[in-house]
Structure 1
Amino acid sequence: MLGARLRLALVALTLCALAAVIGATLAARSDGPNPNALELSADGWAGAIRPPGQPVPDFTLTDQDGKPVTSSSLKGKPVVYAFVYSTCEDTCPAQVQTIKGAVDDLDREDVQVVGISVDPVNDNPKRAESFLLKQGMTGRMTFLLGTREELAPVWEAFAVQPQQDDLEHSAHTILADANGMQRIGFPFDHMTQEALANDLGRL
């Protein structure tokens, strides 16, 4: 009888010790750094702050419907500029889906999404329309097209490398404020839906 009670006492002590170890481990995890936590600058921005006083360049390009679009016509609302090409199968779709998610999270009607071609040789209105349809962005994103001569000054002003046979384009996303000033930039591998939504919400 005494032996049975001793065994029960030992089992109870073992269970209590195990519970204490598990509790301490969970507490340590909750107090430690969260790898998914949103990292913000001292000013509260998640993306890279663009040089001050840097405007969106003047341009006149053509959208997927063949209509001319100027940079001045986009002023008055924040703009998300994404540098993409219509036949891209990896970074561009992922980039646009992240933008889509961030805009959905904000649930704001005043954010414009503009894609600018980085592959003028292969991008055309039909392919641009197909790209928007596949990404669920028809009516929500404008895909701007042009010749290399028309697009080159835009790429340069945004510091973007276009698509080349031997070099992948700069998959950058740049946020401009309602006054047409470049404010925040996100390289593809540093942009998350939460980070983009944070910075869009501040513009």
Structure 2
Amino acid sequence: MAGHAMNKDVAPSILPSIALPFLALLAACNMGADGNASSGDSEQGELIGARIGAPFTLTNQDGKPTRWDDYKGQYRLVYFGYTYCPDVCPVDLQRIMQGFSKFEQARPALAAKVQPMLISVDPQRDTPAVLKSYVAAFHPRLTGLTGTKEQIAKVAKDFVVIYNPEKSDGATDYMVSHSRTPYLFDSDGKPVALVPVDDPATADVDEGAPDKVLAFLEKWVK
């Protein structure tokens, strides 16, 4: 993640309950390796059956309580990041939401069934007011979610996301290392597949291009 992604070697020790094949896939995505989750020939997403996600109550960009179950019946496109991220988070979000906009144009009825959301891993700085202006820059339907330090820690654990604020005591300017795993959940809230993101190690291939996000959504949203 342009110098700020969690090292893939930490995942197995922190997440022993996840099967090793899934850990390998998750680690590869964290480091940006072949982020195009829609490139395989399988008719099932690679996250089918994985233990990812759980009910939560967080606070949205308007300061209102927002529950995971508020989106029952909708697909959920979930990205974990933070507004002060200097590089990868805004680029990923821009391209994902550009792909989503293309999906809205091509398949408006299906796109209406998808709720994109950004869950902050930096609750100290990402207040609802900060999130409100940030998510509005990407798409009017992108929801920003934050909470207390304890709430975010639990949600991150439930969604198999690793993050670590890199700061000294009292510091106000710091980075947050975090895993890079944008998820698509189905209308029952079950994980389906990893949303395509670019791999910085493959300069000649753009795995996270908006057209690839569009193809991904066309494949999985029914």
- TM-score normalised to structure 1 length: 0.71
The answer for the alignment partner of 2:17 in structure 1 is none
> How far is 1:161 from its partner?
1.4
Runs of 5+ consecutive residues of structure 2 not aligned to the other structure: 1-35, 105-110, 168-175, 200-206
- Quick check: 1:80–1:113 contact (8 Å CA) kept in 2? yes
Deviation by residue 1:95-146 (Cα, 9 ceiling, x = unmatched): 111111111121222211111011111111121112123x232x31110010
Aligned length in residues: 163
- Quick check: 1:87–1:127 contact (8 Å CA) kept in 2? no
Tell me which of 64, 84, 94 is aligned to 2:81: 84
Q: 1:101 & 1:145 partners in 2: Cα distance?
A: 23
Task: Tell me which protein shows more helix as a share of its residues.
Answer: 1
- The change in CA–CA distance for 1:77 and 1:93 in structure 2 (over 3 A counts) is same
Computing the radius of gyration from Cα coordinates, the structure with the larger value is: 1
Q: 1:152 & 1:89 partners in 2: Cα distance?
A: 22
- The change in CA–CA distance for 1:151 and 1:39 in structure 2 (over 3 A counts) is closer
The yes-or-no answer on 1:178 pairing with 2:187 is yes
Moved more, 64-73 or 191-200: 191-200
| Secondary structure of residue in 2 paired with 1:122 | coil
In structure 2, give the amino acid aligned to 1:172: T
| Secondary structure of residue in 2 paired with 1:56 | coil
- Quick check: 1:61–1:150 contact (8 Å CA) kept in 2? yes
The answer for the alignment partner of 2:156 in structure 1 is 155
Moved more, 153-162 or 68-77: 153-162
The yes-or-no answer on 1:56 pairing with 2:46 is no
The answer for the alignment partner of 1:136 in structure 2 is 138
The answer for the alignment partner of 2:4 in structure 1 is none
The answer for the alignment partner of 2:40 in structure 1 is 41
> How far is 1:194 from its partner?
3.0
- The change in CA–CA distance for 1:136 and 1:55 in structure 2 (over 3 A counts) is closer
The answer for the alignment partner of 1:18 in structure 2 is none
Q: 1:174 & 1:123 partners in 2: Cα distance?
A: 21
Tell me which of 117, 120, 129 is aligned to 1:117: 120
In structure 2, give the amino acid aligned to 1:70: R
Runs of 5+ consecutive residues of structure 1 not aligned to the other structure: 1-36
Tell me which of 75, 85, 94 is aligned to 1:97: 94
Deviation by residue 1:76-113 (Cα, 9 ceiling, x = unmatched): 11111011112122111111111111111212222111
The answer for the alignment partner of 2:211 in structure 1 is 194
- Quick check: 1:116–1:143 contact (8 Å CA) kept in 2? yes
- Quick check: 1:91–1:171 contact (8 Å CA) kept in 2? no
> How far is 1:39 from its partner?
6.8
- TM-score normalised to structure 2 length: 0.66
| Secondary structure of residue in 2 paired with 1:168 | strand
Identical-pair percentage: 29
Q: Report the RMSD for the aligned CA atoms in angstroms.
A: 2.4
In structure 1, give the amino acid aligned to 2:129: K
